[in-house]
Amino acid sequence: MKYLDEYADSETSGRLLKNIEAVFRKIGRPVTLMEVCGTHTMSIGRYGIRSRMPEGLGLLSGPGCPVCVTPAEYITSAVRLAEMDDTIITTFGDMLRVPNASGRSLLQFPSHKVMTVYTPLEALKTARANSHRKVVFLGTGFETTSPLVAETVRMAAGGNVKNFFCYSAHKLIPPAIRAVAGNPAAKIDGFILPGHVSVVIGTKGYGGLDIRGAVTGFEPLDILSGILDLLEMIREGRKDITNCYGRVVTAEGNVIMQNAMEDVFETADSRWRGLGELPESGLRLKGAYSRFDAEKEFGIDAESEEDIPGCRCAEVLSGLCIPPECPLFAGTCDPSNPAGACMVSSEGACRAYYKYERK
Ligand code: SF4
């Protein structure tokens, strides 16, 4: 396989692959690992890592793509907000193309009504420049983006901006891992933990999870090291959290970012595509900052919605199937005409399989 050899130091990657093979043989049974993060999913596809694993060692994608886990009803509510005369919706680009069950998406609106932004600060700037309109930022993502949103909300409060609102679908990774690990149908032996999230929450952020986990970066050698760590744990029959990304991840994480999140948000139950409603797995604006809460401002009370019939995103995100097992994969669903969120997002498992592993 050329990719891994092209991108990684072949001597080191060769040694890691040999060790993976050797430890896997000693385990003597099939093993399933899950990479939680969408960026890992893309790296595994890009470098051809899955195809270099011994037969019986499976790598499944998990619920770590922010666009993918945002449920269909959130899209419906965002579309309703965009239909109001006095609003401007601001969002990261991937959210534009996600369809709800009726096939509607934010892409149908003109760019002065639904704007793509690269940071929440751009949304705040838009609010300042359009004081006669209510500017809603679609706050999606995990512990990586929520501190930036928290800081933006603090700036809005400090500047007494009255027309900026956040529609929060922010989610927390540890409760999602707990849900997947606790599902006997998924049978995950170990988790490749997300590097970016771990920079913020530190390895201590996974305390209380009864899992095997390895925090890794996104380069091929990082991922191979994480896989080897997990296999060693399985062979020794122990559960632990190891850190293979010590060049940026610490035990404590980034305390400044954690404080920003804690100042502005409080945890709340949250619905995930695929995992359903998970207790204390989301973030909502709290206290003095709740005046920036779009759900309160617009009285949003979204009812749970199904995905498009036939779409198996929910099972893909829970580790219950792989994208090619979806009947729509590469047929009626592809990146130019996505039927589900996992094909839309640049970090989606279906998108990764389509791009790198389509037969
Ligand atoms: S291939 Fe398309 S329809 Fe099937 S699970 Fe993936 S995103 Fe959903």
Q: Is 326 in the pocket of ligand 1 (CB under 6 A)?
A: yes
What pLDDT sits at residue 8?
64
Task: Count how many domains the chain has.
Answer: 2
Give residue 73's pLDDT band: very low, low, confident or very high (50, 70, 90). very high
Q: What does the pLDDT average to over 41-58?
A: 95
The CATH number of the domain holding residue 198 is: 3.40.50.11740
Q: Is 316 in the pocket of ligand 1 (CB under 6 A)?
A: yes
Q: Ligand 1: which of 69, 326, 354 to mutate, most ligand atoms within 8 Å of CB?
A: 326
The verdict on 101 and 150 lying in the same domain is yes
The verdict on 338 and 193 lying in the same domain is no
The verdict on 238 and 337 lying in the same domain is no
Residue nearest ligand 1's atom 3 by CA: 311
Q: What does the pLDDT average to over 224-250?
A: 97
The verdict on 340 and 216 lying in the same domain is no
Q: Is 343 in the pocket of ligand 1 (CB under 6 A)?
A: yes
Q: Ligand 1: which of 68, 70, 308, 311 to mutate, most ligand atoms within 8 Å of CB?
A: 311
Backbone φ and ψ for 139, nearest 5 degrees, come out as -85, 100
For residue 4, pLDDT over 70 is answered with no
Q: 34 forms bridges with which residues in the sheet? A: 60, 191
Residues 6+ apart with CB under 8 A from 64: 35, 36, 37, 38, 40, 41, 142, 173, 176, 194, 197, 347
What pLDDT sits at residue 302?
82
The verdict on 281 and 322 lying in the same domain is no
The label of the residue with tokens 């919605």 reads: 305
**Structural domain boundaries enclosing 20:** 1-312
CA of 333 to the centre of ligand 1 (A): 6
DSSP-assigned states of every residue in 216-236: --SSHHHHHHHHHHHHHHHHH
Angle, helices 38-46 vs 349-356, to 10°: value is: 10
Rounding to the nearest 10 degrees, give the CA dihedral for residues 250, 252, 257, 260: 180
CA of 97 to the centre of ligand 1 (A): 14
For residue 254, pLDDT over 80 is answered with yes
Residues 6+ apart with CB under 8 A from 82: 89, 106, 109, 113, 114
What pLDDT sits at residue 2?
52
Give the position, in ligand 1's atom list, of the atom nearest the Cα of 344.
Answer: 7
Q: Is 353 in the pocket of ligand 1 (CB under 6 A)?
A: no
The verdict on 324 and 298 lying in the same domain is no
Q: Is 215 in the pocket of ligand 1 (CB under 6 A)?
A: no
SS (H, E, C) 285-332: ECHHHHHHEHHHHHCCCCCCCCCCCCCCHHHHHCCCCCHHHCCCECCC
Quick: pLDDT tens for 256-284. 999 999 999 999 999 999 899 999 999 99
The verdict on 306 and 334 lying in the same domain is no
CA of 339 to the centre of ligand 1 (A): 6
The verdict on 21 and 49 lying in the same domain is yes
